[in-house]
Amino acid sequence: MAETAEANVNEIAAAAHGEHAAAGAEKYASGSEYIGHHLNFLTYGKRADGQLGLAHTVEEANAMGFWSIHVDTMGISALLGLIFLGVFLLVSRKATSGVPGGLQNAVEFVVEMVQNSIKNTFHGKCDFLGPVALTVFCWILLMNLMDLVPVDMIPGAVQIAAGNPHLFFKAVPTTDVNITIGFSLSVFILILYYSIKNKGIGGFVGELTLQPFGKWAIPLNIVMELPAFLAKPVSLALRLFGNLFAGEVIFLVIGLMGYWQLPLALPWAIFHILVIPLQAYLFMMLTIVYINQAHQHH
């Protein structure tokens, strides 16, 4: 009974997509299954039989619960982080004061852009902010850029390499909400640290409780200030995740259309070239703005 209902839903979903399952997608029963398959992670954790290993189905991955790890997200983000560090290290080792080469030019452009953003918005003294902003920008930019790789290319290569055509693999780390929340929680910890360091615990608590209505309306002040404070990391994480997730799903829908995907994927990719650096830039700017707020005395 359950299976037939599932099959019906897939038929409806397939009908909603028009004709489906062409070119790269023929091994999936329907368009909905193709997209659902591409939205699952390669999860490693403790299986039901007590062994550590990879989950083979969605139910198995869900049953692993909290103590499991998304191997694809972690692997690709770590790889991109190493690429970022390696390129910047290489350039800084070989930097010349003469006419810079192409790579040095690009790195200098990025560093100067981050430096100018900090100079324009940050009015405190903090040696740690420059490296944080640079890392946030470059790392998120690289992770977002994985979105421009055709949707089946990296998962397909991994499936062939692993010899398992039904392996889950998700190539864009920022479409995993765990990564974006990890980023925003790190920024949140920095905000807490610098708030307490610069204002003292009293000043920080006072900022949350004594504004905007003075000390006779402390409960009202808490109700007004605390959600705004806690909304910072949530909106930071969900903005990045939402943009990239929506973009990825639209790439997947385009990927369902057989040969029609060629004229459709190109304009969407070109539009996405705007979104990708914009989101990385926004994340960096908001990090700077929030840490600047943590430095300001009232």
Partner 1 sequence: METIFAYTLLAAALIFGICGAGTAIAFGILGGKLIESSARQPELAPRLQTQFFLIAGFVDVISIIGVGMAMFFIFVQPFHV
Catalytic residue among 68, 77, 184, 243: 243
Residue of 30, 180, 261, 279 that binds partner 1 (CB under 8 A): 279
> Cβ 23 to partner 1, closest distance in Å?
19
Task: Let me know if 235 is a catalytic residue.
Answer: yes
Phi-psi region of 163 (alpha: psi -120 to 50; beta: other; left: phi over 0): left
Query: Residue 16 Cβ, how far from partner 1 at the closest point, in Å?
Result: 7
| Residue 47 bears catalytic tag | no
Q: Please select the residue that binds partner 1; options are 43, 77, 221, 243, rule is CB under 8 A.
A: 243
* Residue 282: alpha-carbon gap to chain centroid: 12
The SS3 of residue 70 is strand
**Binding residues for partner 1, how many (CB under 8 A)?**
29
Cα four-point dihedral sign 196, 286, 86, 102:
negative
User: How is residue 53 annotated by DSSP?
Assistant: E
Q: Which is nearer to partner 1, 139 or 245 (CB)?
A: 245
Decide if residue 285 touches partner 1 (CB under 8 A). yes
Q: Which range of residues in 28-36, 45-53, 73-81, 90-98 is near partner 1 by CB under 8 A?
A: 28-36
Please, which residue, 6 or 19, has the CB nearer to partner 1? 6
Q: Which residues pair with 70 in a beta bridge?
A: 43
**Nearest residue to 133 via CA among 116, 145, 149:** 116
- Per rule CB under 8 A, is residue 143 in the interface with partner 1? no
- Catalytic site residue 93? no
Q: Which of 117, 198, 239, 292 is catalytic?
A: 239
Q: DSSP secondary structure string, 243-256?
A: HHHHHHHHHHHHHT
Indicate which single residue of 5, 52, 201, 228 sits in contact with partner 1 (rule: CB under 8 A): 5
Map tokens 């040696």 to a residue: 127
**57 touches partner 1 (CB under 8 A):** no
CA distance 240 to 144: 9
**Using the rule CB under 8 A, is 32 a contact of partner 1?**
yes
CA-CA-CA-CA torsion for 110, 111, 115, 117, nearest 10 degrees? 20
Q: Is 245 in the site for partner 1 (CB under 8 A)?
A: yes
| CB closer to partner 1 out of 15 and 157 | 15
Q: CB under 8 Å to 156, separation ≥6 — which residues?
A: 24
Cα distance between residue 79 and residue 88, in whole Å: 14
Q: Which residues are catalytic?
A: 235, 239, 243
Instruction: Please give the residue ranges that form the binding site for partner 1 (CB under 8 A).
Output: 5-6, 8-9, 12-13, 16, 32, 35-36, 39, 120, 235, 238-239, 241-243, 245-246, 249-250, 252, 278-279, 281-282, 285-286
